[in-house]
Structure 1
């Protein structure tokens, strides 16, 4: 099961979205204005092994968190690997704002990031 969202006005080159399609084939890299998009990944440990009602609650909470931001362009939730991918139009602080919003509603969600040197 995966949740995929596209902003309708983004150009998309006709790739059919099917289960197991690699993200590099479907994630948009540039917004409608031609500027590069920013993206981030979050891990939601154990999500796929929860009861269906708990998964639905998490999906609803993710939707609540993400729909508050017009900058969100693409969302993919891969339940097979418990990973949420989000692509956004760039603005200072947007990723921190989104991660904070997601974690307020889905506290177990972890940002995947590089360890600072």
Structure 2
């Protein structure tokens, strides 16, 4: 009888753990878990690091009408084109990021506004 109880207990544990595994995989596959519903960072410096290196973050946190992403060149493109990124004019609710190539006339400013998270609200190309 002891062996039968052990077998029953083992089957019960396997059944319970299988149910939890199925529940966990269902939760991670849900749209809320895969979408950018949580702000990548409230601190503008950390937010810009994520925004400037991840096209999905750019898509989720850009209010500017754009048909082309990424709207801000990603890390490799900035390296390839010697673009220097600088955070400027930072307040609690606004910030500007300038992207420039010191050897050329290339200069683009990205304007961010804070509501529930930082969002790109305007792009100005000041290149000549």
* Shorter-chain TM band: under 0.3
* Bigger Rg, which one: 2
TM-score, normalised relative to structure 2: 0.26
TM-score, normalised relative to structure 1: 0.27
Greater fraction helix: 2
Structure scoring higher RCO (CA < 8 A, sep ≥ 6) equals: 1
